[in-house]
């Protein structure tokens, strides 16, 4: 008999090892495909689109809850994505950085960001993020973080 071929006397047919390999690959592909919705919940948290009542601090708070529920350490960050080396007073946007092992991954509006600018900025506390969300309901211009400015980011 040739290598990789076996004979099943009960069936009287020849099968190649490739048939089983192909079946296994299809099985694994289906398992991965069916698992993608669960995986996307980790990598791409669902946040609403920017609006007059939902801006970057709301999005960051939603992502914060999503990732802390999964056991990640989260760091809210304020900064200005249009300015290198901005001062705190020049900050007009907030996003989230998660700690994943020894790596930091920035998330903005529910998507991972790998540009250098998302890794510059000023850490804020969870309590301050909550305060900013509450203040937004009263005054959307807290620290220059307004729905009009963040809709551009």
Q: What is the pLDDT of residues 75-108, one digit of tens each?
A: 999 999 999 999 999 999 999 999 998 999 999 9
pLDDT of amino acid 116: 95
In 3-state terms, what secondary structure has residue 7? strand
Are 121 and 80 in a shared domain? yes
Taking only the tens place, the pLDDT of each residue in 109-133 is: 999 999 999 999 999 999 999 998 9
Name, in order, each residue with C-beta under 8 angstroms of 34's C-beta and a sequence gap of 6 or more.
none
More confident residue, 110 or 138: 110
CB atoms within 10 A of CB 130: 14
Are 126 and 101 in a shared domain? yes
The yes-or-no verdict on residue 61 having pLDDT over 80 is yes
Domain that holds residue 83: 56-150
Are 18 and 89 in a shared domain? no
């Amino acid at each position: 008999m040739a290598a990789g071929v076996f004979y099943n006397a009960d069936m009287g047919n020849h099968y190649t090892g490739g048939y089983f390999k192909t079946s296994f690959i299809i099985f694994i592909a289906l398992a991965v495909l069916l698992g993608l919705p669960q995986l996307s919940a980790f990598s791409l948290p669902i946040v609403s689109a920017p609006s007059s009542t939902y801006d970057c601090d709301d999005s960051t708070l939603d992502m914060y809850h999503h990732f802390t529920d999964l056991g990640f350490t989260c760091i809210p960050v304020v900064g200005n994505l249009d300015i290198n080396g901005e001062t705190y007073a020049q900050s007009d946007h907030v996003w989230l950085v998660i700690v994943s092992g020894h790596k930091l991954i920035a998330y903005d509006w529910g998507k991972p960001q790998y540009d250098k600018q998302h890794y510059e900025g000023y850490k804020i506390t969870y309590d301050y993020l909550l305060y900013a969300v509450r203040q937004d309901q009263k005054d959307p211009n807290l620290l220059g973080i307004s729905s009009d400015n963040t809709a551009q980011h």
